[in-house]
Structure 1
Amino acid sequence: MFKDNPLLAQLKQQIRETIPTVEGVVKATDKNFGFLQTDNKKSYFISPPFMKQLVHGDRISAVVRESNGKEAAEPEELIEAALDTFIARVKFVDSRTKVIVDHPLINQALNAKVIKDSGFSIKEGDWVKARLIKHALKEKHFQAEIFEYVAENDDSFARWKATTAKHQLAWDQPEYEAELSLLDPSAERRDISNELFFTIDGESTKDMDDAVSIVAKDEGWSLKVAIADPSAYLAEGSALEAVAAKRAFTLYLPARTVPMMPSKLANEKCSLLAGQERPALVCEMTITGSGELLDDARFYLATVKSGHRLNYTQVSNFLEQNNEEFSQDQALQLALRELEKMSQQRHQWRTENTSVFGDQSDYDFVLDNKGRVIDIVCQARRAANRMVEEAMIAANVSGGRYLDKHLGFGVFACHSGFKPEKVDSLIELLAKFDITADKDQLYDLEYFCQLRRTILATNNKRLDQLVKRHFNFGIYSEQCLPHFGLGEAKYATWTSPIRKYSDLLNHRLIKCALAGEQPSSPLTEQLTEHLSEYRKRHKFAEREMANFLYCEYFAEQDATTCLDAEITNVNRGGLNVRLLASGAPAFIPKTKLAAKDQELTIESELGYIATGDLQYNLGDTVSVRVVEVKKLQQTIIAALCE
């Protein structure tokens, strides 16, 4: 008698209209429940039965019901699905094909099928690419379609292949079988192959794209930086260039480098191998005895021949330990010592006049032949690293000045300092540390640098880290805008054309200026977005791959070992830290910072957590031990050592 009763339907609608609704994004947990977070940051509990219809990241509308004084969200409508195309692993349940999404907070197995005429077969544990074609909130169940094969379950580098596929990046070097020859063999190049140039790189580096030469002069040095010239082989608009443009950068994954250019070009034709003549673009600079880079740099095409293939470790050992390395070559010894003196003076000048940041160690993963981590080696920044860094920064400053002067445009690396929307909170923050800042001057390069030096002079790591939260992102620009992060008015990188497409473009522009040509700007809005997008993809892929390897490594380590760690972030849940010996990120929950009867004061905006007489600050070094490794979430849980 109640079926299709219009009065009942009207009553239901009236009741429905009295129940509040909200819209937000689903936040899953590593349990079975989740939360709906609204745009105004309010959270509503989602019970396990409802979470079976949802995926972390879904945007939904929901009704809010109250029970025993607690509010909970009941999903009503899917607004935007979090999943579209994704990487997953194959799982068979009662002969039915399912996939497990490669995401730390998506753990349900989704029904799946391979597209018709795919040309591949799948096995348990294989890695695939799939797309979601049905969502449980709309059609009562999830359904995915497998359309691409990624890697076999037992492939030692399956995780690397899956990570690059996930971020739509290449896994291997570009294929290129044709012979490479100079586009213009008759181009006029200065022959400086008899001058003492040398390369300093990592021990395993093959694409050596920079060599330096230095001579002491009255009151300073003459520094020459020779950069490999792939544009001498790479025709503008060619298929090979298109590949380089698409890749944008060489990808540096842990234990795996994916080059932007084929090895035939990067590691052979262009690599500045010792004893081999190579075409190069050279920048000749004058640096004063106080470390100032004069505005008199000269660029020219040249033929160079590196006399020595050196690595960071042997050069640093020679300079720091005064050993007998290179004892048979007095000229090389003298050149290395002069380069060290120049870099020290140059760094000192930049410290006093621009903006500098502290050294960060690099970390190398050592793998066995099955892709398992057997060691993590900390590569501290040493004398040789700083020497090369200072030489390249000087060359890139000179490149920015040259392009701005001769063309008025280029591919400039720019950084605008602080985010405008965060300036007010920055001023409030600085005031709490007794530093007064002028809001109107914060967009002035010189004022920004002076403020940075003032902050560094306090020797307060917490303040330094808090201020960095207000920094803007770096961008590429055809206009010569300042690079506040480096404290330079003009900065255009051109020293890695084998590894960065933007540097290759600047090579071409500098060469056009040398030839007296008037090229058009290559940096379109579309290309600018492409470069920025791929820089982000590389960063995410590198971080994701490193976190996976860190979890694999620490899952096998002794949990009683105490390790030094630096506090990198403070939030309401606890402390993020970085293990100094390995670089691994870890998290210390607030429950492990104090006993249940102790009160915690959490001031994330001021960068500290306090309990009793103890205070843990951003930048502090603490002693911790690993207590749990959550491989699925790629998270390492740590606790303070007693």
Structure 2
Amino acid sequence: MPKDHDKNTETLKNETPKKKSRGKKQSGVVDPHAEREAARYDNPIPSREVILGLLDAAEGPMGFEQLTAALQLEDEDARIALQRRLGAMQRDGQLMANRRGKFGLATRMNLQTCRVIGHRDGYGFAKPEEGGDDLFLNNRQMQRVFDGDKVLAAIIGQDRRGRPEGQIVEVLERAHAEIVGRYVEEGGIGYVVPHHNRITAHLLIPPKRKKKAKPGQVVTATITDYPTAILGAKGEITEILGDHLDPGLEIDIAIRSHGIPYEWPDEVLAEAASLRDEPTPKDKEGRVDLRQKAFVTIDGEDAKDFDDAVYCEREGQGFRLWVAIADVSHYVAVGSAMDEEAAERGNSVYFPERVVPMFPEVLSNGLCSLKPKVDRLAMVCEMSIGADGQLLDSVFYESVIHSHARLTYTEVGTVLAEGTHPDVKQAYIPDLMRLHDLYKILRAARDRRGAIDFETTETRIVFNDERKIEAIVPVTRNDAHKLIEECMLIANVATARFLDDSGIPALFRVHEGPSAQRLENLRAFLGELALDLPGGETPTPEDYQKVLALTGDREDGHIIQTMMLRSLSQAAYQPDNGGHFGLHYDAYAHFTSPIRRYPDLLVHRLIRHLIRSDIPLQQVRRLPGVSALKKSSIYPYTAADMSALGEQCSASERRADEATREVEAWLKCEFLRDKVGEVFSGVVAAVTNFGIFVELADLYIEGLVHISALPGDYYQFDTVKHRLIGERTRRVYQLGTPVVVQVARVDLDDRKIDLEFPDSDGVSSEGEKPAAKKGKPKGRSRRGAGKPGKKGEGQKKAEGQKKTQPAAKKATKKSPAKGRRGTRKRS
């Protein structure tokens, strides 16, 4: 392929193939990066660093002719290359061209490269990529951009709340090529109302571009003209997803609105079709044969892909544990079509009764599924574990296994509790009991280590034949779930130690402790409940666990757990080992699911590289006849590559979480549509300045009692203590307060559930009403409003407005808080 200038940053228009260097001197400028540029381009020009240094030293912006003269570029090819480089530097936010077409440093022109964050009320924020305070963008600024766009923004002052206010100077990169939403026609004019609640601008659809869409249908529209400061965006309908309440439509919408790749490119399908149904004899060569060991898989009843199998034996007072993981890296070569598509997807996405896999089914449900009674290739982590549950040593190797049985959590849980199950062969029971004994010592070691153990409730949505929700039921975790979880955890720890010792750039799973601000907020909340988090400015996981141990018998225990969980940061993939705060590990990496997580595949590739290299390592097993492979063919990644891949995989993980939460919220709203007017008991799960979120008992669904629907009074929001207090009645609504509520309104489009109190103050007679406290609480006043007016007014300040209605059936501007979700069995 031609090595065009700066093609690594973004595809350039009007590119021409490279020409062989004519041997002519391109520049008299001394470039410290000349060798790098010469290695990348046949006709090199001065590097970006030289151009940035030249502009930094200049008295002001420079025109193109001034730059070519200063860089001594006379050859026409070099001038064209400079034009491309300047364009790429503009797109990356390094340079800015003024109205006269002169180039200057973005930093010198008081500009920042930012990502746009839209708000459902029409305004937004510009988040600087290099850190710092977000810039407020008013509605007029947001008219020309969408949520996620990359922009150059300048600070132009402060808004009314003292926040830095920004002005968009240039749009560098568009985040959306398509918009998913509902097609609407008014007065002969058609437009798409975006489903994404952070995109508020409508997409105009000219009559000839609406295809066969009918008003009310959900569609996908390609953006043909992006918005400007004057004109709105235009588009063309390219796909009709269906009518509003079609079964499964909510998943199609989430997939498209969040940009989740769901169609396989032809190249991927061709590669998948070339794979055999079973491993060949050649595939099995040079591998450790473990087919005689009684590996079993333990998964849920509805699982289709089995990516891990386990087996253990007694070893003195301790155990020897084998964790076999499907060897995806054997079938997916670096740089192949399947590899590039998997990197783009980042992970499989699990929706209720539907999966968007990271790999085609020939791998995920076939060759890389450890099905029973067939040979499968696996990467094995073999570990020696002491009687105290400590990892003594580990070794990694490529193997062939033969799973002896496909078992379920229910079957194994019954065996562990009762000693038998009609569907489990007697021959497997001693092996399962050994695994259970191993689990007990690993669990005891976890307790001594002080890892945080959040006992959250995972729910499962049960559908009827028409794919309507029949029930929302909690998923009970038995010892079989916990057994597999502990086996996976210790395998991931062994992997992280191995990667750390190798000194080669790799991806770790990093979970940092709480920030100072979150810690302060948590302590203020706990203080109101007569609880204290020890540890000073740097609490440890043991300190968190001490508090959790005190909440087991409390009615508000799960609320306390939720607040403690919210104080922690989200785990991410990083090349620098920062440890795992929640699990209290010094090093942690993901090894156990390469079929559904791309970071795990990268880890497997590094392990294979180390197995087949000449590096003397104790943690790998090599067999005679196994040829060493070049690093470039197995693991060609640099530290910069790992950093970029870590950010990409962390982002795709967040994207999947947001999409699945959105679908669950939609389904729960649909479930409550037929229950408007019904009364439920619940508990206050969150308190805001515009009302209280209540979790409905046994349904694990949250809805909002708007501040205007609280009993007649003015209410002040105490930000520190997370409560609303009535000025006159001193009535208190705070986290954990038991209440009785009625479903007032359900909005499927905005995924919002409005609740109200059917009588009195809503406090449950079964719960103790919080005692009124004297004195004015801290915090800014947020009073109950009258009947909310147009959309958005419900959350604004309402000082001075007298409350006239005991309740108002008004949707709020904030979507309902998510239902509590547990963690999957794999950590």
Report the equivalent of 1:573.
690
Structure 2 residue 298 is matched with structure 1 residue 200: yes
Counterpart-to-counterpart distance in 2, 1:560 and 1:501: 45
Counterpart-to-counterpart distance in 2, 1:80 and 1:370: 49
Is 270-279 or 37-46 further displaced after alignment? 37-46
Give the AA of the match of 2:195: D
Counterpart-to-counterpart distance in 1, 2:663 and 2:187: 32
Report the equivalent of 1:553.
671
Structure 2 residue 407 is matched with structure 1 residue 310: yes
Q: 1:236 to 1:454 in 2, by over 3 A?
A: same
Aligned-partner SS, 1:524: helix
Give the AA of the match of 1:572: N
Give CA deviations for 1:76-103 in whole Å, capped at 9, x if unaligned.
Answer: x988999965222223345443222214
Equivalent residue runs for 1:273-422 within 5 Å: 273-290=371-388, 292-320=389-417, 322=418, 324-326=420-422, 329-368=425-464, 370-419=466-515, 422=518
Report the equivalent of 1:151.
241
Q: Which runs of 5+ in 1 are unaligned?
A: 1-23, 62-69, 72-76
Match of 1:596 among 670, 693, 712: 712
CA shift for structure 1 position 408: 4.5
Report the equivalent of 1:129.
221
Report the equivalent of 1:494.
591
Give the AA of the match of 1:584: I
CA shift for structure 1 position 511: 1.9
CA contact (8 A) 1:563 1:579 kept: yes
Counterpart-to-counterpart distance in 2, 1:284 and 1:621: 50
Counterpart-to-counterpart distance in 2, 1:237 and 1:286: 36
The aligned length equals 588
Match of 1:102 among 187, 192, 195: 195
Counterpart-to-counterpart distance in 2, 1:166 and 1:515: 43
Give CA deviations for 1:447-482 in whole Å, capped at 9, x if unaligned.
Answer: 622322333244366655444444233221223221
Aligned-partner SS, 1:331: helix
Aligned-partner SS, 1:295: strand
Aligned-partner SS, 1:356: coil
Match of 1:482 among 566, 579, 590: 579
Q: Decide which structure has greater strand share.
A: 1
Q: 1:280 to 1:131 in 2, by over 3 A?
A: same
Give the AA of the match of 1:541: A
Counterpart-to-counterpart distance in 2, 1:84 and 1:259: 22
Give the AA of the match of 2:310: V
Give the AA of the match of 1:396: N
Report the equivalent of 1:64.
none
Report the equivalent of 1:10.
none
Equivalent residue runs for 1:219-230 within 5 Å: 219-230=317-328
Report the equivalent of 1:455.
547
CA shift for structure 1 position 557: 2.9
CA contact (8 A) 2:525 2:722 kept: no
Give CA deviations for 1:610-639 in whole Å, capped at 9, x if unaligned.
Answer: 566875544566554433212222011234
Structure 2 residue 259 is matched with structure 1 residue 163: no
Report the equivalent of 2:345.
247
Report the equivalent of 2:185.
92
Give the AA of the match of 1:527: L
Aligned-partner SS, 2:206: strand
Report the equivalent of 2:720.
605
Structure 2 residue 587 is matched with structure 1 residue 587: no
Aligned-partner SS, 2:400: strand
CA shift for structure 1 position 267: 0.4
Report the equivalent of 2:356.
258
Q: 1:328 to 1:90 in 2, by over 3 A?
A: closer
Give CA deviations for 1:270-313 in whole Å, capped at 9, x if unaligned.
Answer: 111111111111112233334x2323122222211111111122
CA shift for structure 1 position 324: 4.2
TM-score (normalizing by structure 2): 0.63
Give the AA of the match of 2:409: Y
Equivalent residue runs for 1:459-478 within 5 Å: 459=551, 464-478=561-575
Counterpart-to-counterpart distance in 1, 2:126 and 2:402: 62
Aligned-partner SS, 1:498: coil
Is 51-60 or 521-530 further displaced after alignment? 51-60
Aligned-partner SS, 2:453: coil
Structure 2 residue 606 is matched with structure 1 residue 503: no
CA contact (8 A) 1:409 1:480 kept: no
Match of 2:748 among 614, 625, 631: 631
Q: 1:438 to 1:514 in 2, by over 3 A?
A: same
Q: Which runs of 5+ in 2 are unaligned?
A: 1-115, 128-132, 155-159, 162-166, 552-556, 616-630, 765-827
Q: 1:26 to 1:202 in 2, by over 3 A?
A: closer
Q: 1:394 to 1:619 in 2, by over 3 A?
A: farther
Q: 1:289 to 1:550 in 2, by over 3 A?
A: same
Counterpart-to-counterpart distance in 1, 2:720 and 2:535: 18
CA shift for structure 1 position 134: 6.9
Structure 2 residue 618 is matched with structure 1 residue 528: no
Q: 1:145 to 1:412 in 2, by over 3 A?
A: same
Q: 1:153 to 1:38 in 2, by over 3 A?
A: closer
CA shift for structure 1 position 418: 2.1
Give the AA of the match of 1:294: L
Is 538-547 or 418-427 further displaced after alignment? 418-427
CA contact (8 A) 2:462 2:470 kept: yes
Give CA deviations for 1:58-91 in whole Å, capped at 9, x if unaligned.
Answer: 9999xxxxxxxx99xxxxx988999965222223
Give CA deviations for 1:526-554 in whole Å, capped at 9, x if unaligned.
Answer: 22221122112111111111111111111
CA shift for structure 1 position 424: 6.1
TM-score (normalizing by structure 1): 0.79
Q: 1:198 to 1:294 in 2, by over 3 A?
A: same
Q: 1:544 to 1:461 in 2, by over 3 A?
A: closer
CA contact (8 A) 1:281 1:299 kept: yes
CA contact (8 A) 2:143 2:201 kept: no
Report the equivalent of 1:11.
none
Q: 1:580 to 1:285 in 2, by over 3 A?
A: farther
Give CA deviations for 1:534-579 in whole Å, capped at 9, x if unaligned.
Answer: 1121111111111111111111236424244561x22112223444
Counterpart-to-counterpart distance in 2, 1:493 and 1:83: 29
Counterpart-to-counterpart distance in 1, 2:522 and 2:474: 34
CA contact (8 A) 1:362 1:378 kept: yes
Counterpart-to-counterpart distance in 2, 1:45 and 1:596: 34
Q: 1:27 to 1:185 in 2, by over 3 A?
A: closer
Q: 1:287 to 1:38 in 2, by over 3 A?
A: closer
Counterpart-to-counterpart distance in 2, 1:345 and 1:601: 51
